[in-house]
Structure formats: structure tokens, C-alpha cells
Structure 1
Amino acid sequence: MRSWAALRPVIEGLAATFGPSCEVVLHDYRQGDRSVVAVAGQVTGRQVGGALSEIGLAVLAKGDQAENDLNYVTRTPAGRVVKSSTMPLRDENGHVFGALCVNIDVTALRQAGDILSALAGGVPADVGSTTFTDDFADVVDALVRKEELARGKLASGLSRTERLELIKALDERGVFAVRNAVPPGRRTAGDVAIGPVRGSRGMPQGGSVTTLGSPMTPFLALDKGRLEANIARLRGRLKTPLRPHLKTAKSVEVARMLFDGQAGPITVSTLAEAEAFAAAGFTDILYAVGIAPDKLDRVVALRERGVDLVVLLDSVAQAAAVGRARIPALIEVDCDGHRGGIAPGDPVAAEIARTLHNGGGEVRGVLTHAGESYFADSPAALAAAAEDERRCAVQVADFLRAEGFQAPVVSVGSTPTAHFAQDLTGVTEVRAGNFVFFDLVMAGIGVCDVQDLAMTVVTTVIGHRPDKGWILTDGGWMATSRDRGTARQRVDQGYGLVADLDGVLLDDLLMTDASQEHGILSIRPGSAAELPDIPVGTRLRILPNHACATAAQHDQYQVTDSSSAIQAVWPRVRGW
């Protein structure tokens, strides 16, 4: 049984027998956290050398007492429903050393069953998720998040007794049974805070990180002082309650700063965010992306845990599905033709509301987003966009109330309109997200100054092309994103402005082009400035066009004070 080559025809035969919806995975637990030694078929997305999941940890925790676990149902991080069986493999002495896992994608069958269940008056059952991944740290993070959700608080906020209980729970789940599961620079048995697992990636092992000269580039640097100032500025001008959108920061630590260390009402753009922030104690959450019916079971699961999670819709079909699941929803209004939503004055709003209400859901209110405000370029145009946003939302809310629906919530917002709204009569909450960091697009339309940008990408000079007038860095579009939002503005900032490590802008030096892992710096076209002589190994900052897109390329923030000293590492929520 120790010859994996001998089992290869077996797993390939099993996968071929059940067709493209089947995957067979072979694990050797003696390989430590990278236990996958063979894969046939593709369902969970894992590859040879990938990590064992929570299911494998359960086998390890039971040791030689482990038995076959047959026909259980789970869910992949991508949302696919999988029916699986895990069979431990034993050596000649009866000791468990691996496992054979068969995974069959039953998503389509599950959806058909849910439809039949709904027609019969039932509620589709929730399916838990499994962290199928190639990185064992993600599995540990998922287990910590589950324990945090059960306790209603972050691991970093636990008392000593609670921390010991969490360590015991992780041990019972098999975390510490995995050889090399706790590599240097990551987690120790006494450190169960969620941050250190993800937060240590990119750090040199064997030493502490104290300045921006230490972590491996490229990485995100976050100026906490500027972050605090940006938050204070918006909170200081708004008289209407703020429901910050966390799609930009995707950080529990930033979220808590928005509410003076506490939890408050938030907006998210993914259910992964909703789950992570719920685990951190945030229970008033708006999922502000049009709902896909196959995501409703995850919404229901959070609501059953006491989270007031509200969804967004703009069609009768969505309203029917949401109503059957008995979930509250906001109706999206299109105030400027930017993307989804119904037009103000469209009578379909009443039909959507009736369908939602009659199906068992709740018409919580309306929502709109002035996406076109990102292209306004004067205070007058920004104020006009804010007023149009308010007027459209209030108009549809008034219409719904006249039709007999309470529609208590009128939710508006974007970073530009939140900063230029003059009248918010009829509005119950304002949403904005980009404002915590700001970016060059916001500076370009006059919402902020370049000096307000709180987040930058730190890169290293790796070469020169004097013949082309280029400086090359290790920060390509994988580090900064391909967003070219300023290209439509009066001043095109390329892929970003360039500053030294102290934050001092270099005269007319831009990131003008990028490949996957290479950034190209050159002088702004038409400028008389000379290309600076910057030696290989020098660290530079790139100021981003679009903070949301740039932050999305990274797992964490290196948080600094007013200098380059790193005070903390804050993880970001990833996935959908």
C-alpha cells in the first residue's frame, strides 16, 4: 500500500467510471501539511502537493481508530456542493498513514432538489463548507474562524482561559497532529490569533519585522494615521448614519476603527466577508451585490446564527427565491445607468415587493449607488450626483410606501457623493468604502488630496533600461492591479505615482506600464524632468489608482505609524 504508483490506476479508474463530476484524491499523511500525492479528476481544484482539509485533520485526530466516513455532503470554497467518502489507508500493522477520498460534484442535483423542496413548502438544508486548498494555513484559518463564530468573538480578544479552550478545540480537530503544520514564523501553540497565520506570509523567517525595509516585496503598506484621519473626516461631516462598505479594506481591524473599537452596521461585497465579519462580532450586515439564488443557503446559515444579513435584488425572479428563504431584502435602484437596479418610476418595484412579501420575505427598503460620480470632476458635478442619488432612492421608497410596504431603509452612497452631499432628507444611511484609504482616482476628481492616500504598494528596483528610459521593479500588475482609472481624467497617472520609502513623491516619475511581475517606471510624457538614478535594491512606494483593486491583490497590510516602523500586520478577507 505504500506504493502510490500501484494505486494510480485505481484512482484513475474510479474517476473515469463516474465521469467529469468525480474526483479521487490520494493522501499520504506522512507528508505533513502537503499530503496530496495523487489526484484524478477535478472537483475541489487541488493538486499534487496540496494541503489536507478539515476532513483529513479529523482522520488524523482519530488516529488508528479512524473509520470510513461515507456519503457525507460538504461544500467547496467556490460554492460547489460535493458528496464525498473518505477511507483511511493502513499499513501492515494497522496504522493509518493516508486516505483515499472520492468527491462527486452534486451541485446541479442539489439545486434541483432545493427547487422541489421549495415547491413542497420546505426550506433547503444548509451544507457546511470544507477548505479544499493547497495551503494548509488556509485550513487552520478556516478552523479558527469557525471557532470564533461559535464564540462570537475574535481569537485575539479571548481571555487566557478561552484561549486555552480554543487551543484544545484545534488540537481535537487534529491541527497539531500534522507534521510541520506550524512552520517557523507562523503560528505557535500559544498564539491562536487569526492574524499571525495569514499575517506572517512574506516575512523573513527567523526575525522580527520592524520597518518597511524588512518584508519581502511587493507588499501593502498602510499608514494608520492617515487611515484615522480619513475616517474622522467623513464621520465629522455626516449627520446621517454611516454603514461603511468594507469591500475596500476587507479587514476586521479597519472595521473596528470605524466604530471606535466596537461592532456596527456594515456593508459587504462577498459572503466570505459577511462570514468573516460575523465571526468578529458584526451582526448588522448588508450584502450589497445582487443575490444569486444558489447563495441563499449561506445567507440563511448566517441568519440562523443571529446575524441580520440583508440581501439586494432588482427582479421578480430574485424576489421569489429570496421570499421562499424568508430573507429581508433591499430593492436596488439605478440612479445613473451605472449597472444594476430598476429605474425610478418603474412600476415593477411594486411587483418585486409583492413577490418578496407574499413569498415570506421582508421588503426592508431600497438602495442605490451613484457609480457615475467617479467620473464627475468638479464640486458642482459631485454635489449634483449626490442629490440625484438621494432623489432617486427616496422616490422609489415613497412609491413602495404608497403601495402598502413599509420600506424603512433608504440606503445611498459612494465615496464621492458621501463627501459632497448637501441634503440627505429621506435617507436613513450612507454607504462608502474607498474613503478609508482613498486613491488617485479620488484625488483626480477632487474628493481628497494625494497626501491623504493611506495605502501604497512597496516594491524594489530590480533593473534598468537606459535605452528606453525605464526603471524596472518587482511590482507588476499582480501587485498593483491593471486598473487605469485615471486614464479618463484630466491628468493620467499611469499605473500609479512613485514615492520613496519615506513617502516623498519623485518628480514626474510614474509607473507607466506593467507585466505580471514587472513594473516599469518612467518619466511622465511631456515632462522635462530627468529619470532619477535609483540603484538596484532601492525600495519605492507606488500610489494606486484604485485602492479596492490594488488591495485585492494582497493577503495583508503592513501597518505603520507616521514613520516606516511597522506596528502590526492586519490580514485581509479573501474569496467569495
Structure 2
Amino acid sequence: MDGEPLSALCTPALVVDVSQVKKNAQKMIERCQKLGVQLRPHMKTHKTIDATNVTTANNRGTQLCSESECADIMTGGSRRCIVVSTLAEACFYADHGFDDILYAYSLPFDKVERCAVLSERLELFQVLLDHPDALEQLKKRPLRNGRLWHVWLKLDCGNGRAGILHSEPEALRLAQAIAATTGVKLTGVYAHCGNTYNCNGVQEIQAVAKETTNFTLQFMEKLKAVGITCKSSIGSTPSCSHPVQEMAQLSEVHPGNYIFYDVQQSLIGSCGVDEVAVRVLTRVIGHCPHRNQLLIDCGWTGLSLDGAGKLPTGYTVIEGHPKLKLLSMTQEHGRVEPTSGKLDYEMYPLGSLLTLIPYHSCATAMMHPVYHVHSEGVLVGKWTPTRGW
């Protein structure tokens, strides 16, 4: 289908604007360069990788070119220094020539052996833990050939998810225990400032980013006082889209969603809607005048249920139709109605296309086995994500 318009796709279909992806990636690279910190991009949003041959359109027709998928674009082609959230992703990227991979998920005990295999295979594979019992698991599985377990300590600096609380004495004791364990190296301290997702505007985002950074740096000073040095990293797309100067004192940052962005990020203040690189195409498949509704062929399996109650337009923004609302979804159907007044069904004939901007692109991308890549509305290729845990 390369070279054809988006309207040639069967729906529902996830479409990716590769030009916007590249813009988003380049802006993040430049922000990190300006700060003087290492960018370690998170792969969890897109989970794609390989270089592939695609076509691109211009005013002379179509021509063959080489186009890279997201992981290549985010790393500038280096295939080094990435974060993953599942071991399936880690194996997928390792199998495709990536190295310096951080598995940034509290160490699952059922996956220790698989982590060991990657640690012995790659130049640098890193795990994350936040509990002494996880350290004991690593002790039970020493790596072969003199290899070290490279460990990041996960801190909770206000996000309220995984991590040991930064202010608790147990955090410092755990860091010391990691550093003192034979066969284990304390590589870094990792904090996710996901609480930026509760913000409203740049000022609030930067306040959370500054707090998270300062808590992390204060912990680094505690480590220094007991003779321990290691890397430091914080990250979230909002904080890294509007970094504060204090972040220049960190070693790394680890945003991920920025490569696609979404409606949620635009509401927070991370980006503008025009910077969102993904859409879901859907078609009108039913007229329901007795309910003043349209029926579309995109249910929650094509969009996800994220965004419920967050938008006046329902679960999504319907591009170009601000007065339409995606009221509800079943597995394979969506119900669309006007925000007020009566529908003009002549404007939405059966088979006509609607374009949905996802509330949460990570969740929406997970619903699709393939992404249809386009440039200026012309299809140029497909990206196939990895799946599983």
C-alpha cells in the first residue's frame, strides 16, 4: 500500500506521522544536549525497532528510501542507551543489536534467570530494584565469567508508585548493601516523576521536576558522604519536555511518550496537539437517528478506555470535529454524538473517515499489531511492535 493515501487503509488503523516523530525526537535530543545530560529514551510507548525500506512521496511521485523505526530515531541510530519496561522488550532490542539496556522495572523474581542471561550476553544490561529481597535474589544467581550485575536503585521521590522512599534511612542502607555486595555494582539511582501527569501547565510541571531532581540530588549527596558514587536519572515526558536547570546536575534523563505525544500530554502542557504524531482512523458504519448518534468501527480494542471523564469530547479528540463526542465504546464499536444539537447525517455518510487523536498513545499503540507510517498523508511503510512481558 506504500504510496497510497491514508484513506486506502482498512479501519480501525493506527497511523504514525514519521516527520512529526523525527521532530519530536530531535527536540528532545537538543534539550538534553543543551542541559549536558545523557538522554536514555524509553521504548515503552512504541516498542518498534528495525530499519526498513519504505517509499516516500514528493512532487515527482514516489521513490524508495531507507526509513528507520522509532528506536533508531530516538537513539540517533546508535542503538545504545535505552530504557525498557518489559523483559520482552529487552530481549527484542538485544536480538536486534541494541546494547546498554536498562530494564527499569522492579526486579521480578520469576525473571532473574532471563535477566542473568542478558547480563552475560550484552556489554551492558542493567536491572532495577527497590527492596533487599531483590538483592538477595541476585546473590543467589552470580553471573558467569566475572560479569557484574549492574543495578539501579529505584527511589520514590513523590510519584507514589514503585521505589523506596528517598527520605527513609532504609534507602541509604539498601544503596550501601548493593554497593558492598560481591558481584554487584550500584550503577545508578533512578526516579520517575510520573506525578507530573497530575499537573496543569508548564509552571506546575517544572515545580515537580525541580522537586524530584532536588530529592534525587540530595540522596546523591548522602551516597557521596558514605563514599559511594554512581549515576543519577529522573524522567517523564512532561518534565523532560520542559526541563529545569537543576536537571543539568543529573547524569541522565529517561522520557518516552514524547516520541508520539497524545491528548493527555497536550492537556498537561507538555506539547501542543499539533505535535501529536499518532492518530486512529475509523469509519462511520451506522446512523442511529433515534439516538442522535453515529456508530463507528473503533471500539476500546482500537483506542483503549483511557481518558474516561477527562475530556468534554469523550474518550478522544475527533480531529476537525470539535462538536463531536465519542460517548462510549464496546469492544468493536464506538458511539459518537454531538456535544449539542442534532446530527447532520449528510455530513457523515456511511463509510466516511473520522480521525481520532488518542488520549494516551502508549495505551492506544498497545491495541494495534502494526503501525501504518505516513508522510504528509501518503503511506510509506509499516512498523511492527513487540508484545508481551
Listed one character per residue, the Cα deviations across residues 235-256 of structure 1 (whole Å, up to 9, x for unaligned) are 2222221100010011111010
Unaligned runs of 5+ in 1: 1-206, 500-504
Distance (Å, rounded) in 1 between the aligned partners of 2:106 and 2:351: 46
The answer on 1:236 being equivalent to 2:59 is no
Structure 1 partner of 2:267: 444
Secondary structure at 1:213 match in 2: helix
The structure-2 alpha-carbon separation of the partners of 1:456 and 1:325, relative to structure 1 and needing over 3 Å to count, comes to: same
Alignment partners' CA distance in 2, 1:362 and 1:483: 39
CA distance in 2, matches of 1:259, 1:360: 30
Q: Does 1:508 align with 2:328?
A: no
Q: Tell me whether 1:246 sits opposite 2:43 in the alignment.
A: yes
TM-score by length of 1: 0.60
**Are 1:430 and 2:253 matched, yes or no?**
yes
- 2:232 matched to 1:410? yes
Letter in 2 for 1:303: S
Distance 2:286 2:185 in 1: 59
Give the counterpart letter for 1:481 in structure 2: S
Q: Which residue of 2 aligns with 1:257?
A: 73
Deviations 1:37-68 (A, max 9, x none): xxxxxxxxxxxxxxxxxxxxxxxxxxxxxxxx
Letter in 1 for 2:29: R
Tell me the distance in 2 between the aligned counterparts of 1:376 and 1:558.
32
- Of residues 269, 274, 298 in structure 1, which corresponds to 2:90? 274
Q: Deviations over 1:198-238 (max 9, x none)?
A: xxxxxxxxx77733223321121000111111112222222
SS class of match (1:507):
coil
Would you identify which runs of 4 or more consecutive aligned residues in structure 1 move more than 4 Å?
A: 527-532
2:150 to 328, 351, 364: 328
8 Å CA contact 2:293–2:343 kept in 1: the answer is no
Corresponding residue to 1:540 among 354, 367, 373 = 354
**Cα distance in 1, alignment partners of residues 161 and 276 from structure 2:** 27
Q: Describe the shift of the 1:529–1:324 C-alpha distance in structure 2 as closer, same or farther (beyond 3 A).
A: farther
| Aligned equivalent of 1:368 | 191
Q: How big is the shift at 1:397?
A: 2.1
Match of 1:290 in 2: 106
Residues 313 and 325 in structure 2, CA contact (< 8 A), matched pair in contact too? yes
For 1:495 and 1:518, the matched residues in 2 are separated by 13
Matches within 5 A, 1:25-64: none
Q: Deviation digits for residues 42-96 of structure 1, max 9, x if unmatched? A: xxxxxxxxxxxxxxxxxxxxxxxxxxxxxxxxxxxxxxxxxxxxxxxxxxxxxxx
Greater alpha carbon shift after TM alignment, 225-234 vs 434-443? 225-234
CA offset at residue 323 of structure 1? 3.7
Offset at residue 519 of structure 1 (A): 1.1
**CA contact 2:40–2:81 (8 Å) conserved in 1:** yes
Higher relative contact order (CA 8 A, sep 6+): 2
RMSD: 1.8
Q: In the alignment, is the contact (CA less than 8 A) between 2:337 and 2:343 conserved in 1?
A: no
8 Å CA contact retained: 2:286, 2:296: yes
CA contact (8 A) 2:17 2:376 kept: yes
Q: Secondary structure at the match of 2:213?
A: helix
CA contact (8 A) 2:119 2:126 kept: no
Answer with 1 or 2: which has the greater Rg.
Answer: 1
Q: Structure 2 stretches of 5 or more lacking a match? A: 50-68, 143-148
Q: Distance in 2 between matches of 1:350 and 1:511?
A: 49
Out of 555, 562, 572, the position equivalent to 2:369 is 555
> C-alpha distance in 2, partners of 1:429/1:528?
51
Q: TM-score, normalised by structure 2?
A: 0.87
Q: Distance in 2 between matches of 1:368 and 1:346?
A: 15
1:551 deviates by: 0.3
Residue 143 of structure 1 corresponds to: none
For residues 404-428 of structure 1, what are the alpha-carbon distances to aligned partners after superposition, in whole Å with 9 as ceiling and x for unaligned? Answer: 322x210101000002222214310
Tell me if 1:571 matches 2:384.
Answer: yes
Name which of 289, 296, 316 aligns with 2:132: 316
Residues in 2 aligned to 1:529 and 1:242: alpha-carbon distance in whole angstroms: 50
Q: 2: CA distance between counterparts of 1:425 and 1:398?
A: 16
| Equivalent residue pairs, number | 358
Residue 385 (structure 1) aligns with: 208
Cα distance, 1:427–1:520 mapped onto 2, change above 3 Å: same
| Distance in 2 (alpha carbons) for counterparts of 1:550 and 1:242 | 25
